[in-house]
Amino acid sequence: MAKAKILVVDDDETILFAIRDFLELHGFSVDEAATCAEAEARYRADVYDAVTLDYSLPDGNAIDLLPRLKAIDPGVPIVLLTAHARIELAVRAIQLGAEQFLVKPLDLPALLVVIQRALENQRNRRKQLARDSLEQPQRAVDPFIGQSAAIRRLEEQSRLAAATESPILIRGETGTGKSELARWLHRHSSRASEPMLELNCGGFTREFLETELFGHEKGAFTGAVSAKVGLLEAANRGTVFLDEIGDMDVQIQPRILKALEEKRFRRLGAVQDQKVDFRLVAATHQQLDRLVQEQRFRSDLFYRISAIQIFVPPLRERAEDIPTFAQRILDRLTGECGREPMRLSASALTKLQDHSWPGNIRELRNVLERALMGARSPELEAADLDFAASPQGQSQEPLSSLTLKELERHHISQVLQEEGGHVDRAAKRLGIPRSTLYQKLKSLRS
Ligand X SMILES: Nc1ncnc2c1ncn2[C@@H]1O[C@H](COP(=O)(O)OP(=O)(O)OP(=O)(O)O)[C@@H](O)[C@H]1O
Query: 25 CB contacts (<8 Å, ≥6 apart)?
Result: none
Binding to ligand X by residue 370, rule CB under 6 A? no
Binding to ligand X by residue 145, rule CB under 6 A? yes
Interacting residue with ligand X among 126, 191, 216, 285 (CB under 6 A): 285
Interacting residue with ligand X among 141, 270, 372, 382 (CB under 6 A): 141
Cβ 54 vs Cβ 28: under 8 Å = no
Burial letters 404-443, b for 16+ CB under 10 A, else e = eeeeebbebbebbbebbbbbebbbeebeeeeeebbebbee
Binding to ligand X by residue 180, rule CB under 6 A? yes
Phi and psi dihedrals of 393, rounded to 5?
A: -90, 5
Q: Which is nearer to ligand X, 75 or 202 (CB)?
A: 202
Binding to ligand X by residue 362, rule CB under 6 A? yes
Binding to ligand X by residue 142, rule CB under 6 A? yes
Give min distance, CB of 366 to ligand X, in A: 8
Q: Which is nearer to ligand X, 191 or 362 (CB)?
A: 362
Binding to ligand X by residue 351, rule CB under 6 A? no
Which listed range, 65-73, 91-99, 139-147, 295-303, lies at the site for ligand X (CB under 6 A)? 139-147
Q: Which is nearer to ligand X, 180 or 249 (CB)?
A: 180
Which of helix, strand or coil describes residue 246? helix
Interacting residue with ligand X among 240, 361, 385, 423 (CB under 6 A): 361
| DSSP β-bridge partners for residue 33 | 9
Which listed range, 77-85, 167-175, 347-355, 429-437, lies at the site for ligand X (CB under 6 A)? 167-175
Interacting residue with ligand X among 171, 178, 267, 318 (CB under 6 A): 178
Interacting residue with ligand X among 38, 198, 243, 247 (CB under 6 A): 243
Whole-angstrom CA distances from 69 to 5, 62, 421 are 16, 10, 51
DSSP string, 151-187: HHHHHHHHHHHHTS-S-EEEE-STTSSHHHHHHHHHH
Query: 82 CB contacts (<8 Å, ≥6 apart)?
Result: 54, 55, 56, 62, 89, 101, 102, 103, 104
Residues lying near ligand X in the complex (CB under 6 A): 141-143, 145, 172, 174-180, 243, 283, 285, 329, 361-362, 365, 420
